[in-house]
């Protein structure tokens, strides 16, 4: 009797998960959490901040558009000039509000050669983009954001958005949403031109 | 008399047949008419569109997305199909134009592999942990309740001495 009860009381040997497997699982979980945290941080960062030097990017223009006879432009080629980068799309109604003001501002500065406007067409189809440009008689250099690389770099939150880059290639102003008047644009650009 | 009745019957039958033939001549055709589909059809376009996601409206497949941007993309697909492009060529065109993030299924390269590996691995790991936990719960449930060892009362030293003294006096 006592022998029997002793048998039942003896705990069965438990096989635990090997240590290497436990370490592997924890490393995997931590890795996933890190990736998740980086992704969340990136989405909550917002657009790139004023004061930051803007990295170089290349914009290929639509047929019929050029900058000094070139079909593409690199931001680094424009050092020494004030650069206005405007993100737009043909399906974006607020973009239509500011289209005429941007074009007027461009025509105002074009003869000086000190300011360059770049239109970056975001997630659009070319026929509609070209119709939009023709409708608003846009003449400043415009091209599609191929692979959405430029918009991803600027971390745009929508369209329209406009970025003002000074002569040293530093981002100085960010305009989210449409401009209310041509004067809004001119005030920002004039302030940047006034700097040495 | 019978013959007259027969004649009447055949005559009325003839008239009925004649009337039916007449009506059928003037009646509108009973062919089922359906709305013409544009070429390529919406179904052809949507078969490709459901493999794409527009970056403007994240988490909404292109085939059901109601925005203007997505309508334009669907028209782009229709245009390419009409030009004889294959599905792979069209998907590649969209990747070139807007980046790989527009694909419903991320391409099997680099970190994208995590999207394919992690869910099944996590599922298997979870199933394994659950299996082990259930097995240990079952083992615990089957274990007989441990009998309490009989309590051997140890007499208190003072009580023993007191009892002894009482015995001596008694």
Instruction: Taking residues A72-101, report their average pLDDT.
Output: 97
CA distance A191 to chain B (A): 33
Instruction: Taking residues A45-73, report their average pLDDT.
Output: 93
B19: left (phi over 0), alpha (psi -120 to 50) or beta: alpha
pLDDT at A64 exceeding the cut of 60: yes
State pLDDT tens for residues B70-109: 999 999 999 999 999 999 999 999 999 999 989 999 888 8
CA distance linking residue A178 with residue A159, whole number of Å: 8
Do residue A25 and residue B76 have CB atoms under 8 angstroms apart?
A: no
CA distance B154 to chain A (A): 22
pLDDT at A2 exceeding the cut of 60: no
pTM, to two decimals: 0.71
Q: A60 CB contacts (<8 Å, ≥6 apart)? A: A71, A72, A143, A144, A146
pLDDT at B162 exceeding the cut of 50: yes
Are A149 and A155 spatial neighbours (Cβ–Cβ below 8 Å)? no
Suggest the residue from A29, A143, A147 to mutate for an interface test with chain B (most B CBs closer than 10 A): A147
pLDDT at B4 exceeding the cut of 80: no
pLDDT at res. A1: 44
Instruction: Taking residues B16-40, report their average pLDDT.
Output: 64
pLDDT at res. B151: 67
State pLDDT tens for residues B138-161: 988 888 776 666 666 677 888 888
Partner-chain residue, chosen from A25, A125, A148, that has the shortest CB–CB distance to B72:
A125
């Amino acid at each position: 009797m006592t022998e029997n009860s002793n048998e039942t009381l003896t705990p069965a040997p438990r096989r635990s998960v090997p240590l290497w497997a436990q370490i592997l699982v924890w490393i995997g979980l931590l890795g996933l959490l890190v990736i998740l945290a980086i992704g969340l941080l990136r989405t909550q960062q917002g657009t790139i901040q004023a004061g930051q030097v803007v990295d170089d990017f290349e914009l290929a223009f639509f047929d019929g558009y050029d900058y000094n006879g070139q079909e593409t432009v690199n931001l680094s080629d424009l050092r020494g000039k004030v650069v206005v980068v405007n993100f737009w799309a043909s399906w974006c109604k607020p973009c239509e509000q500011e289209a005429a003001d941007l074009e007027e501002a461009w025509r105002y500065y074009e003869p000086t050669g000190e300011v360059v406007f770049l239109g970056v067409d975001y997630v659009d189809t070319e026929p509609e983009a070209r119709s939009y440009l023709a409708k608003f008689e846009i003449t400043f250099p415009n091209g599609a954001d191929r692979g959405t690389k430029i918009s991803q770099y600027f971390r745009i939150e929508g369209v329209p958005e406009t970025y003002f880059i000074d002569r040293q290639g530093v981002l100085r102003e960010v305009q989210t949403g449409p401009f209310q008047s041509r004067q809004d644009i001119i005030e920002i650009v004039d302030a940047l031109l006034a700097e040495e | 008399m019978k013959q007259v009745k027969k004649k009447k019957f055949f005559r009325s039958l003839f008239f009925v047949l004649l009337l039916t033939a007449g009506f059928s001549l003037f009646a509108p055709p009973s062919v089922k008419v359906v709305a013409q589909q544009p070429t390529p059809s919406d179904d052809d376009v949507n078969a490709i569109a459901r493999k794409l996601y527009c970056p403007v409206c994240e988490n909404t497949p292109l085939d059901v997305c109601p925005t203007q941007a997505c309508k334009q993309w669907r028209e782009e697909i229709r245009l390419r199909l009409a030009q004889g492009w294959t599905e792979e060529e069209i998907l590649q065109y969209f990747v070139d134009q807007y980046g790989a993030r527009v694909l419903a299924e991320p391409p099997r390269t680099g970190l994208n592999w995590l999207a394919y590996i992690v869910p099944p691995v996590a599922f298997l790991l979870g199933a394994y942990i659950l299996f082990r936990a259930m097995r240990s719960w079952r083992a615990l449930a089957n274990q007989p309740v441990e009998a309490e060892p009989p309590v051997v009362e140890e007499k208190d030293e003072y009580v023993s001495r007191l009892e002894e003294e009482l015995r001596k006096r008694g």
